Structure 1
Amino acid sequence: MLKSLFNWKVLVNLLVAIVVFVGLVWLTFRWLEYHTNHGQEVPVPNVVNKSVHDAVKILDDAGLEYDVDSANYDPKYRPFQVLQVYPSPGSRVKDGRTIRLRVNPRTWAQIAIPDVINKYSGLGFQRLDQVGLKVGDTIYEPSIQKDAILRILFKGNSVKPGTRIPRFSVIDVVVGSGPMRNISIPNVVGLSVKEARVVIAKSMFEVGLVDHEDGSKDESDIIYYQDPAAGDVRDQGMQMDLWASKKTPAELRSKIDQLNSLYRMKVDTSLPPVHYDEIPAHQEPSYDPVPVAPIPVTKKEVPKPEPVKPEATKPAASTENKPKTPASSTAANTGTTHKQAASTTPQQPVQKPKAKKVVVE
């Protein structure tokens, strides 16, 4: 067994296999070096703040590929200005490497106008603000849809929902201000149904029931009757019913009289006009105050006190030298008491006490 392994033929085959393997490995690496440009590197040129057209030309001259990425619009930079380069400028890359350029677009990215037609204006304004649109002027227009958004204007032109415009654009919104009052009804008798629709729409009314005499839907039929009548006043948005036929109104006189009996009120002018007297507004009766006679006040007559006759007394000398007795002190106290009583009850006369006669022996 070992002897067969060291046979020269086996050794030659083994040597040939080794040479072939090494040769394949060497050729593989050589092919990779050639295919990948091994050792052939170029620096990334600095194209930041240049326009995208100039940056593309510089990269083409350097043998590099490029990929342009439009970032969000930034008004601080010029349109189509290169904001960033990857790999960074100065890095060494192989020939043919793709360089990514981040470029400022010309304007804001476009967005679709949301469907806010016939929606309440408060919710519509909020929806427009959410998508990045700014409401400029709010134009009010007579309409039965009060406070509803009727149209959206961009640069003076009406745009439909779904139209793409730049973000943060200024738009004008037309909002309904409510129906107009007391609009005169137009006369459409004698017109075709198609023409009548146009006249009614211009007068801010709507077409209601359209009765064709022959049951067809031909828009060329002539209107021979309308309700309400021409000249009446109605509010905006009211419906007008039409009766149409291929015949002329003169040929349909009996039909018109029949419709008049149903939709027109006849006023009997043979009766005398009713006269209404105006009744003054009810007023509360006013009463004059009754004079009240003053009540006479009767004063009570107070009897005058009778004068007290003086009695004979002794000479003053005897009287002064007379000692005071209890009787005199009692008289004095009594006089004081009578004075107090007189001050409290002025109605009764105060009688002075009579002096007593004292005999001194």
Structure 2
Amino acid sequence: MKSFIRVFGINALVAVVVIGALLWGVFHYLNVYTLHGESITVPDFKGLKIEELDDFVRDKTVRFEISDSTYNRKLPRGVVIDQNPKPNTQVKESRKIYLTVNRKIPEMVTLPELEDASLKQAISILETYTLKVGKKILEPAECSGCVLRVEKDGKELKPGTKIEKYASVDLVLGQGESDEMIPVPNLMFLTKQELEDKLGSKMLNTTIIFEKGCKTEQDSSFALVYNQMPPPGQDAMINLGSSVNVWLTCSRSKLEEIIPDSLSFKLKNI
């Protein structure tokens, strides 16, 4: 009986040692595998041209794939504008980096038929085609506020013309038979987006002037109107098709002096 217990104990001990060694080996392998390449730093692809990418990764232990493209007219064409994972992050060797590039050729859309549509209808149709309204130009015509034609840079655009996505087009609108006057809209303390929303369906043009302090696109998006000409007023009137000049500022101190308390919440982003 003692001999059996002794043999059993030895076998159990051997089994524990063997299992322990196997577990150590497995965990060691997994640890080496998961840490393999941990020190590889993701290079910065941003700003590289598409044709430069193969040479750029030739001596690096990462791969790349162009997974998306967009078009931004403010950025160079045919270059990397974003990547995932981000530069300087740590990844395994041979990790694939997904790149977004700025297209060389902008995406085009077809100009829809707008003749005889009202201004409101024209704006709605253009939005579905990812196009915007630029100037609103009035001409003598029997109809009032109907679209006579579409122009860009002073040249007429026919329906079916290919045009850059997100571009602005000018609408030539019928003035009707009367010199109609409308109240001067109050544009004070509006953002640029709020200006466009408020004046979108009105037959008025707007000249927007940013102060020098608005240096970035984000600054400009938060800037508020602090002056307009002609100024709003109870009896202030303006001709259809006229232009309202507005000045926007990013200066919190300038706005604090003139903004009503009821609108002070608009200063939180400035």
What interval of TM-score do these two structures reach, taking the shorter chain for normalisation? 0.3 to 0.5
Q: Return the TM-score normalized by structure 2.
A: 0.43
Task: Answer 1 or 2: higher relative contact order, Cα 8 Å, separation at least 6.
Answer: 2
In our comparison, the structure showing a higher alpha carbon Rg is 1
Determine which structure has the larger strand proportion and give its number: 2
Q: Return the TM-score normalized by structure 1.
A: 0.34
